[in-house]
Structure 1
Amino acid sequence: MPVTVLLVDDEPLVRAGLRAVLEAQPDIEVVGEAADGAAVIPLVRQLRPDVVAMDVRMPLLDGIEATRAVLRTVPEPPKILVVTTFEDDEFVYEALRAGADGFLLKRARPAEIVHAVRLVAEGESLLFPASVRRLAARYGDGERTAQAALERARLTEREAEVLRLMARGLSNAEIAERLVVGTETVKTHVSGVLAKLGARDRTQAVIAAYESGFVEPG
């Protein structure tokens, strides 16, 4: 089954470009388009896409509120990939905190766009550690909350190690190789980290790690 994608962007040229790149792949299918976040919920319910590629800045309902609405109201919601012009945009950080699975720059190369869609569809986060560090330093206002959550979580030594590697942007397979364990073992540790932190996904766990100081820059 192909990965199905819904494109949400108020710029027709951006949607056309993304569609052309994605539909050139045999395992990806663009099932719909929208010009504003206000149209996302009915389209998600109708089309059931695996991934929503969502612009963050739109005239009626921005990508942050659209992300929150999808995650709040849609059972088994799709993965959400934020599409942005500037990686240091506060809107990007707020969308990630709201539950988006990662972000993609509009200037990304076609191969990077395809990789991003496949990655989030598989349940991995698409994070750029240096960018997330900068965003957390500039816009993060949840330091006390994040620190308290990590203290309450009482991660095991191995879970803490996995969280640090997640924060560096490593995939499950890369973490498994680094720790010399099986991928299923890593998935178990990741699930444990998310459950203990009360995080929806890897992205929110990583943001908490940076905001709390659990993961140091560098």
Structure 2
Amino acid sequence: MTMIVAGGAEPPRVLLADSDPISRHVLGGTLREAAELDLIAATDSRRPVREWPLREADLVVIVAGPRENHVRLVQELTGEGVRALLIGVDWTRHSIEAAFASDVCGCISKDWAVTDLVAAAVAAASGYVVLSPDLVGMCVQVKPMSPVGALESRLRALTVREREVLTLLAEGMTTAEVARRLTVSRATVKSHVSHVLTKVGARNRMEAVLLMRSALGCGLDP
């Protein structure tokens, strides 16, 4: 994963949520020592969300242990307009798709290198969608790169608003952020995304986002 961070910018404020006290201590110490971000607190993810210092955080990093499912927790956070990055140990395609459907801004493996975990947190707080390389094959069907004409043909089926929604998602916005930008409800954004998946033949939102990013990279108008 490659990132460009503007010089002089304040480091993102990160809240760590982990139910395992040992993991929370170790990962919290690692994040606290990282100059690229500001760890404001490390909390037990089993505590009620209302007790978390969310107003101070740009991003919540949630660690899911074996057999822990934090989709509802992510939904609660993103419903409040908070960006969430999920770290897990036993990912499946279903769990990744469920996480992105809950509007998480990234899914990464817990066994990733420390420097990569820090980079992922900074990227997610900066508006990027993050997925560790070992998880890409689980949720994105590997296909030959679509020619420009084929990309344009698939996207032409979308309405102006559907293209607008997909473009904003490709830029790294969450469902809640897209809804605020377009002054519509989250349900409306999700409805547009559902139509987009059907029209472009994508299995999930990540595939649709990558399709739009390919189109933008080829110079096609959004």
TM range (shorter): 0.5 to 0.7
Match of 1:63 among 70, 92, 106: 70
Of 105-114 and 128-137, the range deviating more from structure 2: 128-137
CA gap of 1:161–1:36, structure 2 versus 1, over 3 A, is closer
Does 1:52 find its partner at 2:60?
yes
Match of 2:82 among 78, 81, 84: 78
More helix by share: 1
3-state SS, counterpart of residue 71 of structure 2: helix
User: 1:114-172: CA deviations, max 9, x gaps?
Assistant: 110110111111035773552367xxxxxxxxxxxx8874259x979979xx5xxxx88
Aligned sequence identity (%): 16
Aligned residues: 171
3-state SS, counterpart of residue 5 of structure 1: strand
Superposed counterparts of 1:80-99, under 5 Å: 80-88=84-92, 90-99=94-103
In structure 1, what residue type is equivalent to 2:26? G
1:184 is matched with none
CA gap of 1:131–1:27, structure 2 versus 1, over 3 A, is closer
3-state SS, counterpart of residue 52 of structure 1: strand
Q: Distance in 1 between matches of 2:133 and 2:70?
A: 21
CA gap of 1:57–1:23, structure 2 versus 1, over 3 A, is closer
Give the CA deviation at 1:41: 3.5
CA gap of 1:198–1:151, structure 2 versus 1, over 3 A, is farther
Task: Supply the RMSD in Å over aligned alpha carbons.
Answer: 4.3
TM normalised by structure 1 equals: 0.59
Report if the CA contact (8 A) 1:34-1:40 is conserved: no
Does 1:6 find its partner at 2:11?
no
3-state SS, counterpart of residue 99 of structure 1: coil
3-state SS, counterpart of residue 203 of structure 2: helix
Question: Which 5+ residue runs of structure 2 have no aligned equivalent?
Answer: 1-9, 142-154, 173-177, 212-222
